[in-house]
Structure 1
């Protein structure tokens, strides 16, 4: 279930209440006239089944509530109510299959913001991965994958393509490109420092690395895994199971490939630099492609196979 908290202009409160009452899958409607002060308006609260949420939110936006009032949406972790159970039973479709497009756009917009925190995480992840590739340590590679925040901008690009939001696409692309550029540049300097301290050596990079050699040797499986991870990541976002993103993050070699490219560049190894860069681009393309196709498929399935009341 979702909880909607609305601030409605007084002249549109009756229309909002009527819309909610006509929406199958709602419960616990409460109206407090004149309660809102900024902006001035009435407070309307209602619980709605997730599968009915996107349509209701869309119609509220059509009434201009998002422009002249406010629409706040929260997930309800626990609701002990027979009315809530009946609302979920009456709502057409399954909540796990429903996509809240406004929520998805808002989440990817936030995750694709080029902030100091984002740059810090992607840089730290790349530096950890650099240690992993030089030491041929799979544990460090997995740790770096889990720390990396790059799935946010990738999901943002997919969402923007499906929803035709060019500003979100540009924002996500900038975060992705600038993030990796900064992370790789800092990792080159980090590699040079570690070499000066005797902690990194070119011999380690050029030696056989059975655990991490895959990061600079892209093949068909690299793209296949990226596509599968992109599908899983997108499903975890749209079904509100964001905890699964950790599993997605450690499935693809974006950050390790960037790290290996940076270390190889610091030693002038153009072969590994090129191979790692190709691995990175292949994975990024696979995730975006899979994410976009997954969202389009979800949209089509929900439109054509959702049960009607």
Structure 2
């Protein structure tokens, strides 16, 4: 199954049937709406892939948030009835490039925007793989449950799961989740590193919204290149990764927003005792949008 073309210049937020899209000051919120349980059908996959291309090239977007208004499900898993129709004749072939689901996941991982997933209910299979491809994941205590149900039904997490999960939680824990097909509750998912945080259910959405809006206020090139530098930690040996970090730091020094932002930091009280005691709030007061 191939992803749609990246030629989405004429696409609008109204061109999606299973994603309810809202925008607020550089943040795009996409709520998945595919009742009854948000199974990732081929149609939903195509919409999520189109949406990733739509926002990746939109300079007005700084942060992307995926969420669901279904209290029980973020995304259940990929449509098993669709997998049953996948071609299985002849020998398996080794791919040489990312296509289909892998291509979509890589776009969320690498697009020059922060990508955040708000997991308010169950997430499994391909929905979990999409979530792991994004930059941050937040869940709800007593509601969020993670499950990779592929091995019990005779397959494996084939949408990046066997590669993403060990990098998040470690090899042994990934084996428990994948080979055991067990439910992972929100608190354990947080402790193991799958979730950034597990919050009380009524605090999840306000927290994610506030964080997304906070990041959207920061210089977009700094967000994009900082993300690129962090991604390099997965892709390069430490020595080369440090070279990449130094190069990207030098690039950012040459952007028009860097000097004014640093000057504002000092003007607002940075490097004073009072300022540094509230540095997280202080840097949120810096304005770089003119």
TM-score (norm 2): 0.26
TM-score (norm 1): 0.25
Where relative contact order (Cα < 8 A, 6+ residues apart) is larger, the structure is: 1
Higher share in helix: 1
Whichever of the two has the greater Rg, that structure is 1
